Structure 1
Amino acid sequence: MKQLFFSAMLLITGSQIATAQTGWNIGDRAAFGHSWTVGNTPEGAKRQFHPTFELGRAATYNFSDRAGVGFGTYFSSQGASFKDEDTDNRLIAGANYIKIPVFASFNFGDAEQRVRPRLTIGPSVQFLVGGKSFIKTDEDAFAGRYTTKAMNTKIDVGGNASLGVNIRVFDGFYLNHEINYYHGFVEQKPNNNSETPTFTNRGLTMSLGMQINSAAMKKWKGKMKMHHKGHED
């Protein structure tokens, strides 16, 4: 009888956890890393570390505790940096985008696990909204050009993939730690009568994000309403 009781309790608990992970999840994400371009390295120059960051919000609809689909909207600062081997001058090309990825999300392991591996993959479109390119010496930085004026191509389309862990803080609230890779497919054409070659964008970042399930959000709002009502009484 006791074994039957404990088995029933485990089934009920597992069902509650699985239910808590289905439906809409909404959360914020911040990422930092390195971006670079392929196809336009100046002659006699070497590629340098170019800091990139992304900040925004994503929504995911989980069909089950293992799989879902989602989309996001991020502000993304990208570009590339090069160093001339003869003069030590640095060419810094920055590009700011509004990035909209669409992705499939997969969680591995059992729903009862607090920490689970997570994979997302899908396409992305991004729109050029700013940035600046300039040459920097040891003494000063020369005036450059705004990227929106320097580029003929204003849209980039690529693929995103991320691998990391999904951490359940409590039912309905999760933290995501991930390594993210972006691979641009569209040739970016400068506005300089073909003096500078075309290129494609790349990026590798580490991100920290959080997501809250719609059921958990409703539960939290209900508690806040009850707390406010208690103070009024």
Structure 2
Amino acid sequence: MRHLSLIFIALAIFTIQPLYGQLTSRNFSIGPRIGVNFSNVSNPEAANSRTGLVAGLTSTYSINEHSGLSVDLLYSGEGYEHGGTELALDYLRIPVMYNIFFGEWGQRFRPKVFAGLQPGVLLAAESDGTDVKSTVKNFSFGVGAGLGFNYRMGERTWLNTDLRSFFDLMDLREDPASGSDKHALRNIQLSVGVAWGL
């Protein structure tokens, strides 16, 4: 699993590097993002959601007037509650999303929809204050989609608001019992950010 994490980080670097190579163009923007997660798990069905913080950097490269690629680097607090026990999971998430923008370039208000991949590396795992990181997989991989809008506040400065839904494709447990149902994370995220064009 550590090898998978290293491969993921290397791929993320190669994905982000071309974007930063465009810093001299007027199609690239970057800035902080903060929000809240409402996360749960696919099984057990009686599990309750856990609220957590999401914060980090967001960046977007506009391919053309109506499409763009965004890559974020986010701390993401996730997990769930079940039977009076809380599982708190901290991830480093690097969502890579393809965006479709509506309206014309230069308009103040532009709605958008997006979808893509949302890998993550586990930073910490606790159950009621006890470290349980060894029981949780170090790497997470899923798909995400959502909608939002960009609002131009000034010259090359945008307010970004996103509502995202994320579905993990992997069992979060390191050694699940044979024949047991998959414990996969589910997450709804509401966030806001400010991005500056470079």
Answer yes or no: same fold by TM over 0.5.
yes
What TM-score, normalized to structure 1? Answer: 0.68
Counterpart contact for 2:37–2:77, Cα < 8 Å: no
Deviations 1:13-57 (A, max 9, x none): xxxxxxxx952111111120310001234xxxx332310221111
Q: Which residue of 1 aligns with 2:30?
A: 26
Deviation at 1:182, TM superposition (A): 0.8
* Residue in structure 2 matching 1:39, options 37, 43, 47: 43
**Secondary structure of the structure 2 residue equivalent to 1:211:** strand
The 2-side partners of 1:81 and 1:94 are apart by 9
1:64-213 superposed matches below 5 A: 64-82=64-82, 84=83, 90-134=84-128, 145-151=130-136, 153-191=137-175, 198-213=182-197
The 1-side partners of 2:142 and 2:166 are apart by 7
Deviation at 1:114, TM superposition (A): 1.1
Structure (1 or 2) with the larger CA radius of gyration: 1
Q: What runs of 5+ residues in structure 1 fail to find an aligned partner?
A: 1-20, 85-89, 135-143, 215-233
Counterpart contact for 2:142–2:169, Cα < 8 Å: yes
The 1-side partners of 2:185 and 2:176 are apart by 19
Letter in 1 for 2:37: G
Deviations 1:68-127 (A, max 9, x none): 112121111100112x4xxxxx11111111111111122101224211101221102101
Is the deviation greater in 205-214 or in 187-196? 187-196
What is the total number of aligned residue pairs between the two structures? 174
Deviation at 1:185, TM superposition (A): 0.5
Deviation at 1:147, TM superposition (A): 3.1
Q: Percent identity?
A: 21
Q: Which residue of 1 aligns with 2:58?
A: 58
Letter in 1 for 2:31: G
Is the deviation greater in 167-176 or in 103-112? 103-112
Deviation at 1:145, TM superposition (A): 3.2
The 2-side partners of 1:192 and 1:113 are apart by 50
The 1-side partners of 2:56 and 2:66 are apart by 24
Structure (1/2) with the larger helix percentage: 1
Deviation at 1:192, TM superposition (A): 7.3
Q: What runs of 5+ residues in structure 2 fail to find an aligned partner?
A: 1-24
**Secondary structure of the structure 2 residue equivalent to 1:131:** strand
Structure (1/2) with the larger strand percentage: 2
